[in-house]
């Protein structure tokens, strides 16, 4: 089964009527039309050449000295995350990411139960030579923060609803309390 996410549609203005003077300025496109065109170009850029842009954003967010270091950390974190994203969110996430990032996530076998946020960070620390839980938390937050910016708020929220509590901070978001409503006696 193939799942596709809705793509913004660009509207192309019709040519001016023949009776209009040739020197009359055409109306400026509406902000919505301009945004739709830019969104289409952004989606194309992320899918074709977005891996370098993605890892450069991780390099800047994590303040890594080289792109190679940022790429290493990105590969490890996305591979670890890939096993914890399941259901409908998995194909939607892979479609929203650069191809190389999508392949890292799609190549992982989904875990039967996702790790807690702390154990997730510890699992990343075990994969990075010389890493501590504190440096691994920095690495995870750097990558997942960029991922959240890349895929947008709605998909990030969907991902967080399927992960155990504690992951929101790793995605650069405040952890919202989960309340259970109890009916009064």
pLDDT tens, residue by residue, 120-157:
999 999 999 999 999 999 999 999 999 999 999 999 99
Which helix (H) or strand (E) segment holds residue 65: the answer is none
Does the pLDDT of residue 7 top 50, yes or no?
no
Which domains does the chain carry? 32-170 (1.10.490.110)
Three-state SS at 172: coil
pTM of the model: 0.70
Residue bearing tokens 């993605």: 54
Torsion over CA: 163, 164, 167, 168 (sign): positive
158: Cβ–Cβ under 8 A, 6 or more apart, which residues? 89, 92
With 70 as the cut, is the pLDDT of residue 178 above it?
no
Tens digits of per-residue pLDDT, 71-97? 999 999 999 999 999 999 999 999 999
44: pLDDT strictly greater than 60: no
Q: At what angle do helices 153-162 and 133-151 cross, to 10 degrees?
A: 130
């Amino acid at each position: 089964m193939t799942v596709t996410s809705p793509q913004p549609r660009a509207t192309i203005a019709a040519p001016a009527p023949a009776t209009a003077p040739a020197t009359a300025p055409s109306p400026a496109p509406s902000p919505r039309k301009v945004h739709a065109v830019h969104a289409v170009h952004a989606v194309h850029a992320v899918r074709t050449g977005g891996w370098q842009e993605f890892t450069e954003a991780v390099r800047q967010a994590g303040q890594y000295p080289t792109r190679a270091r940022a790429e290493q950390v990105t590969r490890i974190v996305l591979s670890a995350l890939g096993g914890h994203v399941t259901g409908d969110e998995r194909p939607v996430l892979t479609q929203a990411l650069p191809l190389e990032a999508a392949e890292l996530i799609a190549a992982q076998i989904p875990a039967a139960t996702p790790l807690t946020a702390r154990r997730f960070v510890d699992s990343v620390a075990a994969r990075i030579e010389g890493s501590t839980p504190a440096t691994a938390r920095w690495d995870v937050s750097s990558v997942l923060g960029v991922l959240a910016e890349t895929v947008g708020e709605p998909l990030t929220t969907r991902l967080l609803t399927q992960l155990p509590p504690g992951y929101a901070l790793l995605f650069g978001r405040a952890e919202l309390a989960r309340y259970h409503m109890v009916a009064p006696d």
